Amino acid sequence: MALRAVPLSLTSSLSGASFFQHFVLEENMLEVDCPCVTPEIVLKASGHVDKFTDLMVKDEKTGTCYRADHLLKDFCNEKLQKDLSISPEKAAELKRVLAVLDDLSAEELGAKIKEYGIIAPDTKNPLSDPYPFNLMFQTSIGPSGLSPGYMRPETAQGIFVNFKDLYYYNGNKLPFAAAQIGQAFRNEISPRQGLLRVREFTLAEIEHFVDPENKAHPKFSDVANLEFLMFPREEQMSGHAAKRIPLGEAVSRGTVNNETLGYFIGRVYLFLTRLGIDKNRLRFRQHLANEMAHYAADCWDAEIECSYGWIECVGIADRSAYDLRAHSEKSGVPLVAQEKFPEPREVEKLFINPVKKELGLAFKGNQRMVVEALEAMNEKEALGMKDTLESKGEMEFYVCTLEKNVTIKKNMVTISREIKKEHQRVFTPSVIEPSFGIGRIIFCLFEHSFYMRPSKAGDEQLNVFRFTPLVAPIKCTVFPLVQNQQYEEVAKVISQSLTTAGISHKIDITGTSIGKRYARTDELGVPFAITVDSTSSVTIRERDSKDQIRVNVERAASVVKEVTDGRTTWAVVWSTFPHHSSGSADE
Amino acid sequence: MALRAVPLSLTSSLSGASFFQHFVLEENMLEVDCPCVTPEIVLKASGHVDKFTDLMVKDEKTGTCYRADHLLKDFCNEKLQKDLSISPEKAAELKRVLAVLDDLSAEELGAKIKEYGIIAPDTKNPLSDPYPFNLMFQTSIGPSGLSPGYMRPETAQGIFVNFKDLYYYNGNKLPFAAAQIGQAFRNEISPRQGLLRVREFTLAEIEHFVDPENKAHPKFSDVANLEFLMFPREEQMSGHAAKRIPLGEAVSRGTVNNETLGYFIGRVYLFLTRLGIDKNRLRFRQHLANEMAHYAADCWDAEIECSYGWIECVGIADRSAYDLRAHSEKSGVPLVAQEKFPEPREVEKLFINPVKKELGLAFKGNQRMVVEALEAMNEKEALGMKDTLESKGEMEFYVCTLEKNVTIKKNMVTISREIKKEHQRVFTPSVIEPSFGIGRIIFCLFEHSFYMRPSKAGDEQLNVFRFTPLVAPIKCTVFPLVQNQQYEEVAKVISQSLTTAGISHKIDITGTSIGKRYARTDELGVPFAITVDSTSSVTIRERDSKDQIRVNVERAASVVKEVTDGRTTWAVVWSTFPHHSSGSADE
């Protein structure tokens, strides 16, 4: 983990202003800021302590660690691309391995590594068998050494364990969402691909809590007509390409599981394209059945194409009630919502009443475990037992906690369906989670925003980042055309107005030629340059068109402010103010 | 470490908008975002691995840990306050112990604990001797287990190790500042005082790099006339109280070491009071000589008075060149700045040339240590040696790394002063560091902003937070006066305009009485409430005065926006728009 600084401005304009405006304000979301250091019990409940692992192999002599699946993947890809002598059968086999790579167990991976004779790429030494390595950074909380903790691998768990307070804060009403932006930590075995796989990164996560029986979204119609590249499961399985599908159609056909999930897919599309991501290099890919967690109802990744291929930058998942249930169970605190009925409703309910006396006589010290297992039966199991007991008088029943079957007799439990009046429905909300890898989005934004244009002299290529005014870390530059005290004074006055307006900017009073100064700021992706060439009016230049307008000194800051805030556009400004011809100044 | 969420909005409006605008934009600072997980070597260089410790004692039977100084402090305070039988001599002794508490070594603390018979407060068991406990959360980077790392205990080190890039980015010019806002982690032995001493917290740190030979600040005159409570070292030592001193005077008299330090003290004062900190409960306290790090030139804490006493919320220190030097030495990468001279200058320079052959003969394997010690002499030491060698032919010389004196003879070193032409000056910049504990400021802001007022009915007290529009997490509420579809439509239109304007707000369409809804939002510290009582115009109510104006529906959002942005004030708004009398609505 190198201690390199990331210029914060782009992260902050992206995760701060844009994300806040586009999601938090727009949907009236709650915001929270939970700690990074997380007690073990929270991550036990979420499953991370037991399952957040990658399979690792070690160089048996040097101890260098590798991700087992990466080695196998690299081996297969290289064989397929470079070894012209392999048979069609062998090629088909390697392709099959690549397709199921994510599903292989430690044993299966180990067997393949042995079979193919894969060795340590750096030393050619033999490799150990694969074994799981937990990706969380471990630490110890407090001075005693008795309270293990981990750096959070995602921000979401903080929102789940605070569900009760958030629900209360929202007036005990569903649906609502809570958002969190912060650091997440994953102790990757081998960070690679530049900024795409790092050990510490900024996540922006939204947990939208919704009634599982009603996942309609009141604002879905706002996004229903959007049409963009979608890559449903079926298209992937049948080897087709991603295709443009209207979002409304994808939801109504059931390709996307529900309206709320669809709404967020649409909002993520708008977010990314407004930031400046090329819509032709953005697709929404549905998880295959084997990729998706067993509890998830549906999951789509916003993938952006860059020089490393199609990169997952946002995951949008319907995680059903899994997370809240897991924390309820571990903590004993019910994380549930209530729907109060306007009038009491008659509901047919299943009652399982274990007869403790009889069970006690039969199972002695194991009574409690049997009672719990009986009470934990779902409706189908209970009705099956009722039938069997009525017809046969007894049945074999598996008790997990005892790890064996016991014989339940008719007198040990009564199972009945009764009509009951209910005043409310208590349920565990479902969670729809859009989760944004801010660093990955920024990386792709760099690639999609970069272009080169010839200098006027034609002797060199000039670099430009076409950052939109919304995301550009520096919104504006201020240049006195020539070194001259009067112009510098004007530049300082404009700089002060920009500061007051909250516009980040750079003032450059060096005597460098104006063309060079434009080229420098184009390379930083600054959208507007104000050049002071008189004491009464100045020019404003737009980066990509290189068009210039002339405005009064007093108006300069406010024009930049209005375009930057999105209250107007450069096109409108261009049609409003007198144009200025740059002559030969602008290379 | 409880996993409680902090409502982010206040943190983000405070550390984001306000801090960014007041410091980063105003001074054109660079912004960085460095990782939290930090390789050990960085914190070795900074001294944290060896010295970032508190002295701890353990309950010898249960293993419960306590901070040794806290136990001694509590013992002394309790004796002084509750034991009426102690002699004046004893009281004087206890007061002396409290005064030097921070200076006591482990042995001295242990001796006092034994002498006073202090035992574990919870169990009355005996205590261990005090021993140092490092306050950093330790972890391991990567899968090998061979790269120890720590969660950063402050954000500053990330800026120091990136100095070279930041200096380059600033066009190789001084002075400049870099700012960073992020999490810091300290594994406190016993967190206490609510939100004031926690194990994870948000820090905002500014590192302002400046030429040590010129610490003047061009904008000092902007703050020179400020006058506020200052508590210089001398006043503390002589038992006087803090007093109002004009900042310009404090700097010109040398009470504050230099203009740049003074400038930031003034800017911090403006920042805190603009947030809503009571200026009568804010003081700047200078560190006593024994509190200050040996390398620091001067250090002042902005202390805010709250129910826990005077709390350090911002530290403003001139750390001299210590940090950059420490990282230069450890990394071997010079972290320096250059000042190019317009014309080459003739400089008299000291040359120390150890004669390695003679030194090798005399000191064999220790030669290198002696050479290094000779070369490390400062001017005074070197000239002293030159004199002694010329007069006596030899002298005793202490070599730190050998921990002993060696005899240096005249033939072992030549020391001379020569005139040399220099084209530039290379130096290690000084660092002036304002460091903000955002959580502590928020805690004090809660206390300073809270008040109660009687309800109109007079039967209860209503709670109010007087958050300024700048920091209030929710800027505005929107209420239809009565439940009515037309009014709800208007409320939604206004809500949409507020969203577009970036104003966080809550819309409440419940039928609750308007008085109750006002009381609710007062308790949340929302400065403005828009009430829809017609389809053409609405009222805007200001929280503290409860005054209401009437504006057209179309203007409502923009009026709130202008006051919130600080472009106008409520007083101006109040004098511009027609007033509305609330009748009995507002409790």
Instruction: Measure the CA–CA gap between A90 and A113, rounded to whole angstroms.
Output: 15
Which region, left, alpha or beta, applies to residue B63 given φ > 0 means left and ψ of -120 to 50 means alpha?
left
Mean pLDDT of B100-107: 86
- Determine whether the interchain pair B42/A3 forms a contact, defined as Cβ–Cβ distance below 8 Å: yes
Instruction: Measure the CA–CA gap between B204 and B185, rounded to whole angstroms.
Output: 13
Q: Letter for the amino acid at A34? A: C
Query: What's the pLDDT score for residue A10?
Result: 59
Task: Sort out which chain A residues have CB atoms less than 8 A from B140's CB and list them.
Answer: 137-138, 187
Tokens of A90: 């062998």
DSSP string of B427-438, one letter each residue: EPPEEEEEEEEH
Task: Sort out which chain B residues have CB atoms less than 8 A from A43's CB and list them.
Answer: none
Mean pLDDT of A293-302: 89
Q: B115-139: per-residue pLDDT in tens?
A: 999 999 889 999 999 999 999 999 9
Q: Is B416 a residue whose pLDDT tops 60?
A: yes
- Determine whether the interchain pair A159/B5 forms a contact, defined as Cβ–Cβ distance below 8 Å: yes
Mean pLDDT of A164-184: 93
Task: Sort out which chain A residues have CB atoms less than 8 A from B24's CB and list them.
Answer: 504
Q: Is B499 a residue whose pLDDT tops 80?
A: yes
**Chain B nearest C-alpha distance from A224 (Å):** 20
Q: Is B6 a residue whose pLDDT tops 50?
A: no
Considering only CB atoms, A143 lies closest to which of B26, B133, B162, namely: B133
Which of A138, A176, A139, A140 has its CA nearest to residue A32? Answer: A176
Give the residues across from B476 on adjacent strands. Answer: B505, B528
- Determine whether the interchain pair B185/A16 forms a contact, defined as Cβ–Cβ distance below 8 Å: no
Mean pLDDT of B324-332: 93
| B75, B84, B96, B420 from B87: Cα distances, Å | 16, 9, 14, 69
Tokens of B2: 């409880």
| A21, B206, B364, B466 from B471: Cα distances, Å | 17, 21, 67, 10
Q: B218-235: per-residue pLDDT in tens?
A: 999 999 999 999 999 999
Considering only CB atoms, B33 lies closest to which of A6, A165, A189, namely: A6
Chain A residue whose CA is closest to B42: A3
Task: Sort out which chain A residues have CB atoms less than 8 A from B202's CB and list them.
Answer: 33
Output b/e per residue, B101-129; b: 16+ Cβ within 10 A.
Answer: beebebeebbebbeeeebbbeeeeebbbe
- Determine whether the interchain pair A34/B506 forms a contact, defined as Cβ–Cβ distance below 8 Å: no
Q: Where are the alpha helices (DSSP H) in A149-300?
A: 156-161, 163-169, 233-237, 247-252, 259-275
Chain A residue whose CA is closest to B562: A501
Rg (CA), chain B: 30
Which of B160, B200, B205 has its CA nearest to residue B180? Answer: B205
Task: Sort out which chain A residues have CB atoms less than 8 A from B557's CB and list them.
Answer: none
Summary count for chain B: helices (H), strands (E): 21, 28
Mean pLDDT of A505-531: 91
Q: Where are the alpha helices (DSSP H) in B139-258?
A: 156-161, 163-169, 233-237, 247-252
- Strands B282-286 and B227-231 come out as parallel
Range of lowest pLDDT (A69-73, A168-172, B335-339, B507-511): B507-511
Which of B521, B510, B341, B333 has its CA nearest to residue B421? Answer: B341
Q: A106-134: per-residue pLDDT in tens?
A: 999 999 999 999 999 989 999 999 999 99
**Chain B nearest C-alpha distance from A127 (Å):** 15
| B61, B136, B399, B486 from B189: Cα distances, Å | 18, 11, 39, 59
Chain A residue whose CA is closest to B566: A500
Mean pLDDT of A303-328: 95
φ, ψ for residue A117, nearest 5 deg = 65, 35
Residues in chain A: 587
Tokens of B140: 């391991």
Task: Give residue B289's pLDDT band: very low, low, confident or very high (50, 70, 90).
Answer: confident
Q: Letter for the amino acid at A14? A: L
- Determine whether the interchain pair B161/A3 forms a contact, defined as Cβ–Cβ distance below 8 Å: yes
Q: Which residues fall within 8 angstroms of residue A293, CB to CB, at 6 or more apart?
A: A299, A319, A322
CA B251 to chain centre: 21
Query: What's the pLDDT score for residue B4?
Result: 44
Q: Is A337 a residue whose pLDDT tops 70?
A: yes
Q: Scan for tokens 């969380």, then name that residue.
A: A136
Interface with chain B: mutation pick from A21, A33, A141, A512, highest number of B CBs within 10 Å: A33
Instruction: Measure the CA–CA gap between A77 and A95, rounded to whole angstroms.
Output: 9
- Determine whether the interchain pair B185/A37 forms a contact, defined as Cβ–Cβ distance below 8 Å: yes
CA atoms within 13 A on the CB side of B532: 27
Instruction: Measure the CA–CA gap between A175 and B400, rounded to whole angstroms.
Output: 69
The larger pLDDT score, comparing residue B167 to residue B377, is at B167
The larger pLDDT score, comparing residue B255 to residue B63, is at B255
Q: Is B5 a residue whose pLDDT tops 60?
A: no
Query: What's the pLDDT score for residue A1?
Result: 34
Task: Sort out which chain B residues have CB atoms less than 8 A from A63's CB and list them.
Answer: 144
Task: Sort out which chain B residues have CB atoms less than 8 A from A142's CB and list them.
Answer: 1, 65, 187, 189, 199
Query: For the sheet containing A148-151, what is the strand order?
Result: A37-39, A148-151, A138-140
- Determine whether the interchain pair B5/A34 forms a contact, defined as Cβ–Cβ distance below 8 Å: yes
Which of A209, A264, A218 has its CA nearest to residue A427? Answer: A209
Considering only CB atoms, A1 lies closest to which of B32, B149, B502, namely: B149
Residue A23's SS3 state is helix
For residue A537, count other CB atoms closer than 10 A to its CB. Answer: 18
- Determine whether the interchain pair B162/A5 forms a contact, defined as Cβ–Cβ distance below 8 Å: yes
The larger pLDDT score, comparing residue B90 to residue A1, is at B90
Query: What's the pLDDT score for residue A328?
Result: 94
Burial class (CB in 10 A: 0-12, 13-18, 19+), A295: middle
Q: Is B2 a residue whose pLDDT tops 50?
A: no
φ, ψ for residue A48, nearest 5 deg = -70, -35
> How many CB contacts within 8 angstroms connect chain A with chain B?
185
- Determine whether the interchain pair B200/A158 forms a contact, defined as Cβ–Cβ distance below 8 Å: no
- Are B223 and B262 spatial neighbours (Cβ–Cβ below 8 Å)? yes
Query: What's the pLDDT score for residue A296?
Result: 87
Chain B residue whose CA is closest to A170: B506
CA dihedral defined by A168, A172, A173, A177, rounded to 10 degrees?
20
Q: Which residues fall within 8 angstroms of residue A356, CB to CB, at 6 or more apart?
A: A367, A371
- Determine whether the interchain pair B30/A21 forms a contact, defined as Cβ–Cβ distance below 8 Å: no
Considering only CB atoms, B143 lies closest to which of A56, A143, A200, namely: A56
Residue % of chain A over a pLDDT of 70: 96
Long-range CB contact pairs, B573-579, < 8 A, 24+: B573/B540, B573/B549, B574/B542, B574/B547, B574/B549, B576/B549, B577/B549, B577/B550, B577/B551, B578/B549, B578/B550, B579/B547, B579/B548, B579/B549, B579/B550
Q: B519-563: per-residue pLDDT in tens?
A: 999 999 999 999 999 999 999 999 999 999 999 999 999 999 999
Task: Give residue B585's pLDDT band: very low, low, confident or very high (50, 70, 90).
Answer: low
- Determine whether the interchain pair A200/B504 forms a contact, defined as Cβ–Cβ distance below 8 Å: no
Interface with chain A: mutation pick from B20, B23, B139, highest number of A CBs within 10 Å: B139
CA A39 to chain centre: 23
- Average pLDDT score, chain B: 90
Instruction: Measure the CA–CA gap between B336 and B166, rounded to whole angstroms.
Output: 12
Instruction: Measure the CA–CA gap between A273 and A453, rounded to whole angstroms.
Output: 23
Q: Is B8 a residue whose pLDDT tops 50?
A: no
Query: What's the pLDDT score for residue B542?
Result: 97
Task: Sort out which chain A residues have CB atoms less than 8 A from B4's CB and list them.
Answer: 34, 162
- Determine whether the interchain pair A158/B3 forms a contact, defined as Cβ–Cβ distance below 8 Å: yes
Q: Which residues fall within 8 angstroms of residue A267, CB to CB, at 6 or more apart?
A: A22, A23, A26, A223, A434
- Determine whether the interchain pair B159/A37 forms a contact, defined as Cβ–Cβ distance below 8 Å: no
Mean pLDDT of A424-450: 95
Q: Which residues fall within 8 angstroms of residue B143, CB to CB, at 6 or more apart?
A: A56, A65, A133, A187, A189
Is the ipTM, as predicted for this complex, more than 0.90? no
Q: A213-268: per-residue pLDDT in tens?
A: 999 999 999 999 999 999 999 999 888 999 999 999 999 999 999 999 999 999 99
Query: What's the pLDDT score for residue A477?
Result: 96
Query: What's the pLDDT score for residue A16?
Result: 57
Interface with chain B: mutation pick from A20, A23, A31, highest number of B CBs within 10 Å: A31
- Average pLDDT score, chain A: 90
Instruction: Measure the CA–CA gap between B380 and A239, rounded to whole angstroms.
Output: 80
Q: Scan for tokens 């300069």, then name that residue.
A: A556
Q: Is B377 a residue whose pLDDT tops 90?
A: no
Q: Scan for tokens 């509590």, then name that residue.
A: B74
Output b/e per residue, A117-137; b: 16+ Cβ within 10 A.
Answer: ebbbeeeeebbbebeebbbbb
- Determine whether the interchain pair B8/A140 forms a contact, defined as Cβ–Cβ distance below 8 Å: no
Q: Letter for the amino acid at A537? A: S
Instruction: Measure the CA–CA gap between B82 and B69, rounded to whole angstroms.
Output: 20
Chain A residue whose CA is closest to B159: A5
- How does DSSP classify residue B102? G
